[in-house]
Amino acid sequence: MTEADATIEVEHLVKHFGRTIAVNDISFSVRRGEIIGFLGPNGAGKSTTMRILTGYLPANAGVVKICGKSVASSPLQTKRHIGYMPENNPLPEDLRVREYLTWRGHLKGLGGRRLRERIEAVLEQCDLRRAHRRIIGTLSKGFRQRVGVADAILAEPDVIIMDEPTIGLDPHQIIMIRDLIARLRGRMSVIISSHILPEIEATCDRVLIINHGRIVASGTPDQLRQEFIDRTGYEVEVHGELAAIRRALEPLGDGSTIDVGEGSPDAAGFYSISVQTGAGRDHGEQILGLLGQAAGVRVRALTRHQATLEEVFLAATRRSWETTTPLKGDAARAAIAATDSGHAPHPGS
């Protein structure tokens, strides 16, 4: 990735609150038009990282650049490139939706005809047209979330950061937000955090999993599966002697295990058996081939079970708990020592 492509560049970011390290030497970058999902348990440092990116929180060490400009040294310039929807989506209770968006547009440098056009566009995109005259304090959770999203995309910023944008929404509204974010692909860089993992998988190009303030995994969902899930499961519906089926699948090797379940066939005489293989390559064709060659064995169906992002998330965070201990990061320790002695190791970002 060249520097010109990157709208967000984060290098060795550290943030601590007293002795508690919230962000521990994080580095990543985001290309223009890319959609990134932040995953992590509660308290992992997702919201803190997002707040530092927006310039709301200062970092203790490291560098954050938005569209090539440092958040620390040019905060007003970088804020012009960011649309942000915080966690819990705070909104003023007394204003009407259109009044709020108009005010926010003015703050973000929009005005006149352009502002009117953008307000109409976001009201349409976020399905808020029928609520635009309503007072925000009287809106349901779903409407409020959509007002927050409308505000984030109002000025068509280069970077959109949304902390839990789909929380509290019903499935229709979640699909609407997902489609909306998908339409931003290629034009704006988007970072979203969510606990709804299928949402992240459906929406994001790349996933960053954060735990204990560190990035413990980064890549596309498929890459993460390969890295963290060492088994692939297959469900085979097969007719024949169990012993013959077992013998037929023995050449699979690769540490494969075969589970024939309860051992009783269905009404048509087909057993449903589960085969676990190594995750290095797809064994589906081999399984079909081996069973097809076996005498007295017929196959009705083969299903491959892809590991969910949830399994990847659990595996990645479990591995990070096993291999890292909080408060032991070198960069973080250096930052605390430097702060305690009155010297920052890097200019704060």
Residues binding another protein: what is the number (CB under 8 A)? 30
Q: Hey, which residues between 95 and 124 contact another protein (CB under 8 A)?
A: 95, 99, 103-104, 106-109
**Measured from the CB of residue 88, what is the shortest distance to another protein in angstroms?**
6
Instruction: For residues 90 and 92, give the distance between their C-alpha atoms in angstroms, rounded to a whole number.
Output: 7
Judged by CB under 8 A, does residue 158 bind another protein? no
CA distance to 101, 131, 156, 310, per residue, from 106 (Å) = 9, 21, 13, 41
Nearer residue to another protein within complex by CB, 10 or 275: 10
Place of tokens 């702060």: 339
Instruction: Kindly state the DSSP code that residue 226 receives in the 8-state scheme.
Output: H
Site for another protein contains 151 (CB under 8 A): yes
Strand-pairing partners, residue 290, are: none
Structure tokens belonging to residue 39: 């995953």
**Residue choice 82, 273, 287, 316 for contact with another protein (CB under 8 A):** 82
Provide, rounded to whole angstroms, the least separation between the CB of residue 118 and another protein: 15
Identity of residue 182:
A
296 scored as a contact of another protein (CB under 8 A): no
Among 11, 29, 31, 56, binds another protein (CB under 8 A): 56
- Nearer residue to another protein within complex by CB, 34 or 151: 151
Listing DSSP states for 122-170 in one string gives HHHHTT-GGGTTSBGGGS-HHHHHHHHHHHHHTT--SEEEEESTTTT--
DSSP codes joined into one string, 251-300: GG-TT-EEE-TT----TTSEEEEEEEEESSS--HHHHHHHHHHSTT-EEE
Among 37, 40, 55, 221, binds another protein (CB under 8 A): 55
When asked if residue 79 is in the footprint of another protein (CB under 8 A), the reply is yes
> Is residue 206 a contact partner of residue 34, using CB atoms and an 8 Å limit?
yes
Which CB sits closer to another protein, 80 or 319? 80
Q: Characterize 264-298 residue by residue with b for buried, 16 or more Cβ atoms within 10 angstroms of its Cβ, and e for exposed.
A: eeeeeebbbbebbbebeeebbebbeebbeebeebe
| Tokens of residue 245, six digits | 């089926």
Q: For residue 54, state whether it binds another protein (rule: CB under 8 A).
A: yes
Q: Which is nearer to another protein, 147 or 315 (CB)?
A: 147
- Closer Cβ to another protein, 193 or 276, answer by number: 193
* Candidate residues 20, 43, 58, 220; the one interacting with another protein per rule CB under 8 A: 58
Which of the ranges 32-40, 78-86, 138-146, 177-185 carries the binding residues for another protein, by CB under 8 A? 78-86
Residues that bind another protein (CB under 8 A): 17, 51, 54-58, 76-77, 79-80, 82, 84-86, 88, 90-95, 99, 103-104, 106-109, 151
